[in-house]
Chain A
Amino acid sequence: MSVAELPAPPADRASRFSTRFFRSELVLIFGRRRNWVGGLILASVPVLIAIAVKVDPPSTAGGPTFFDQITNNGIFVALSALTLEIPLFLPIAVASISGDAVAGEANLGTLRYLLAVPVDRSRLLAVKLLAIAVFALVATLLVAMVGALLGLALFGGGPVVTLSGTTLPFWSGVARLLLVVVYLSVCLTAMGAVGLFVSTLTEQPIAATIATLILTLGSEIMDAIPQLAVIHRYLPTHYWLAFGDLLRDPISFDRILPGLASAAIYLALFGTAAWARFGGRDISS
């Protein structure tokens, strides 16, 4: 270990862009057995829907949104599953990842070793948030894919009837489904930013996850109380179900755009709050 063998001075390499740490973060999330179990639970809902509808097809219109369409087009299994999972199951998944982001590392003590590597604190948060976004996308996509594939297998495909009553070619329908997935991922990532912030407040990942869930469900409950209509549009979950507008013909952006704006504001607000909180915090775990 002579001086000659030492690597180039750190300053020369420090500026180099590298995705290694981000990839390592993804390996951590997607390699964890707990998260695989979570994925199985998410995927079980479209399976349950598809089997239930196959066994006992709904005779009349009604029931949960998109249900009556399933027998006509299997792709609606995906949309039914997303409708049922977006209020609770998907938020649970994102809350458990985002709550764990910083608090989990603090709890294990790995946070101090990461910071001593050193990992810049802003970089750590950026990598964590980006990984949450990827997880939200993968989780939503998983539900949609399992639903669509199983639905198509059991009920077949074909032209997609929009909420406006018009008919879209099959692949346009698939594209609309992907838009729904992207929209819901953005909404869930905004919630993940809230979770990331909460995660910087504690060393207990479970506490951060539960707090994030309480905020999400609290928002949904307040959104359901008509007397609170004044604040509804400021609630983080208010525009989540607007994803149905992506299935109109033409697409209605009246609620989609505010939904995206709301998500962007929550992302910026809580991303900044996490940064402000974590940047100067004493790491004593």
Chain B
Amino acid sequence: MTDGISPVELAISSAGLTKRFRSGQVAVNAIDLAVPTGSVYGFLGPNGSGKTTTIRLLLGLIRPTAGSHALLGEPMPARAARVLPRVGALVEGPAFHPYLTGLANLRRLDAADRTVDPGTARSRIDAALDRVGLLAAAGKRYRHYSLGMRQRLAIAAALLRPRDLLILDEPTNGLDPQGTREVRALLGALAATGTTVVLSTHLLSEVEQICTHVGVMHLGRLVAQDTLVNLRARTAPRAQVRTAAPEKAATVLRELGLAEVETAADSATGLLGDVAPEKIVAALVHADVPVRGFAVLSADLEEMFVQLTGEGFDVSG
């Protein structure tokens, strides 16, 4: 990289990465990704915003129209043979041979990897299946797997060997709540061992729970990229009082200096600013406002998201 990005500290870096399809559509428009090593990077964006195309570019499945990128400090695609074995990926959903068992499918992928020790194949495959809770269904044909099991198998494929970087495109798609939690815990455990995880998703709750960094795509552009903490700070927290007397509560909030005070049928809210929340509760009680509940609503990621992408969630050209 020539633009001063330190390749050592970034698991993924790109400069002006662009993909224009033959149709003329610019799916990815000059994006400069910077995924720090060791981070859990939430890659957000409405459907059709260019996330999957970006992932395909990163893995060298499609060629960029312009720009360059590096994985784990190695320029791609020149060093693909060297760096891709260290990268586990889930791209646009699971894909396996339907008439092979889950085990046989993983065996085939492992056989394709020239850089692993064949002698450890069985133990590594079993360990990967075990990590995603599929060991019991390993002998079942893939065609009989449920969507959630297919998703798990794809994650197992990404974990066939220790990876330094995981690029996962909607890994919890199709999983039941229990499975979603398991995958989240699994990713947390992997991140704790130093694996960098890139998580493409549109589940904001997922991002809020496990991501340290966030990149937001919109119409092929990377419209925001920062730590989750910094992004949250962009939206100011609001104090919310649930009460039977919203007008009375609103008056108290205004007196305390909260801005943008609004009332609803059973609540009053205002921008917290630098007013201490406990001071508000005390003032409300002092003013005899019947408080049913009080909360500080921290930056709403969804709202931030809508601000950045300027539209509702699942639209986009």
Q: Which residues of B, 88-115, contact A by the 8 Å Cβ criterion?
A: 89, 91-100, 104, 107-109, 111-115
* A231 touches B (CB below 8 Å): no
Q: Is A283 within 8 A of B56, CB to CB?
A: yes
Contact call A1/B81, Cβ cutoff below 8 A: no
> Any chain A CB within 8 A of the CB of B257?
no
Q: Are B63 and A282 in contact (CB under 8 A)?
A: yes
B161 within 8 A of A: yes
Q: Chain A contacts of B75 at CB under 8 A?
A: none
Contact A118 B80 (CB under 8 A): yes
CB pair B193 A1 closer than 8 Å: yes
Complex formed: what's the CA distance from A112 to B115 in Å?
18
Q: Are B115 and A13 in contact (CB under 8 A)?
A: yes
**Residue contacts A-B, CB under 8 angstroms, 28 given:** A1-B162, A1-B193, A6-B162, A7-B115, A7-B116, A10-B81, A10-B85, A13-B114, A20-B111, A21-B114, A24-B112, A28-B100, A31-B100, A33-B99, A108-B98, A109-B92, A110-B95, A112-B59, A114-B109, A116-B59, A116-B61, A116-B87, A117-B84, A117-B112, A118-B85, A282-B63, A283-B62, A284-B61
Residue of B63, B93, B104, B113 with highest tally of chain A CB at under 10 A: B113
Question: Which residues of A sit under 8 angstroms from B190, Cβ to Cβ?
Answer: 1
A7 touches B93 (CB 8 A): no
Q: Is A115 an interface residue (CB 8 A)?
A: yes
Q: Please tell me if the beta carbons of A113 and B85 are within 8 angstroms of each other in the complex.
A: no
Q: How far is the CA of A31 from the CA of B117 in the complex (A)?
A: 24
A93-115 to B contact mask, C-beta < 8 Å, 1/0 = 00000000000000011101111
When chains A and B are docked, how far (Å) is the Cα of A109 from the Cα of B94? 8
Q: Is the CB of A109 within 8 A of B114?
A: no
**Which B residues fall within an 8 A CB radius of A?**
56, 59-63, 80-82, 84-87, 89, 91-100, 104, 107-109, 111-118, 157, 161-162, 190, 193-195
Residues 11-33 of A contacting B (Cβ, < 8 Å):
11, 13-14, 16, 18, 20-21, 23-24, 27-28, 31-33
Query: Is A56 part of the contact surface with B, judged by Cβ < 8 Å?
Result: no
The interface of chain A, by Cβ under 8 A from chain B, is 1-3, 5-7, 10-11, 13-14, 16, 18, 20-21, 23-24, 27-28, 31-33, 108-110, 112-120, 280, 282-284
Max chain A C-beta neighbours (<10 A), residue from B80, B91, B95: B95
* Given contacts A6-B162, A10-B85, A14-B81, A115 and B97 within 8 Å (CB-CB): no
The answer to whether A20 touches B59, judged by C-beta atoms less than 8 angstroms apart, is no
What is the bound-complex CA distance between A96 and B97, given in angstroms? 17
Q: Which of B97, B118, B161 contacts A28 (CB 8 A)?
A: B97
Q: Tell me which residues across on chain A come within 8 A of B113, comparing CB atoms.
A: 117
Partner of A116, one of B63, B91, B96, B100: B91
Contacts of B194 in A (CB 8 A): 3
Residues of B close to A10: CB separation below 8 A: 81-82, 85-86, 115
- Contact across chains for B112 and A114 when beta carbons are under 8 A apart: yes
In the assembled complex, which residues on chain B have CB atoms less than 8 Å from the CB atom of A118? 60, 80-81, 84-85
Query: Chain B residues with Cβ under 8 A from A114's Cβ?
Result: 109, 112
The smallest C-beta distance from A111 to any residue of chain B, in angstroms, reads: 8
Min CB distance, A35 to chain B, in Å?
11
How many angstroms between the C-alpha atoms of A7 and B161 in the bound complex?
9
Closest 4 CB pairs of A and B: A109-B95, A24-B111, A282-B62, A118-B84
Q: Which of A24, A27, A110, A284 is within 8 Å of B62, CB to CB? A: A284
Chain A residue with Cβ nearest B88: A116
Are A113 and B81 within 8 A (Cβ)? Answer: no
For residue A21, which residues in chain B have a CB less than 8 angstroms away from its CB? Answer: 111-112, 114
Given A7-B115, A13-B114, 7 new contacts (CB under 8 A): A27-B104, A33-B99, A109-B92, A110-B96, A112-B59, A118-B60, A282-B62
Docked CA distance A259–B162 (Å): 51
Cα–Cα distance between A110 and B99 once the two chains are bound (Å): 13
Residues in B with CB closer than 8 Å to A5 are 162
* Cβ–Cβ contact A283 & B61, under 8 A: yes
Q: A10-B85, A110-B96, A113-B95 are in contact. Are A16 and B114 (CB under 8 A)?
A: yes
A284 to B92, CA, bound (A): 10
**Bound complex: CA A33 to CA B118 (Å):** 27
Complex CA–CA separation, A112 to B169 (angstroms): 13
Whether B91 lies near A108 (C-beta < 8 A) is no
The CA-CA distance from A282 to B23 in the complex, in Å, is 14
Q: CB-nearest residue of chain A relative to B117?
A: A7
- Given contacts A1-B193, A16-B114, A108-B98, A117 and B85 within 8 Å (CB-CB): yes
> Within the complex, what minimum Cβ distance (angstroms) separates A201 from chain B?
15
Closest to A110 in B: B95
Residues from chain B with a CB closer than 8 A to the CB of A110 are: 95-97
Q: Are A20 and B109 in contact (CB under 8 A)?
A: no
- Complex Cα distance, B110 from A113, in Å, reads 11
Shortest B55–chain A CB gap in Å is 10
CA distance A267 to B261 in the complex (A): 77
Chain B residues contacting A18 (CB-CB under 8 Å) are 114, 118
* Complex alpha-carbon distance, A114 and B195, angstroms: 22
Tell me whether B91 and A112 are in contact (CB under 8 A).
Answer: yes
CB distance from B185 to the nearest CB of A (A): 15
Nearest A-chain residue to B27, judged by Cβ: A284
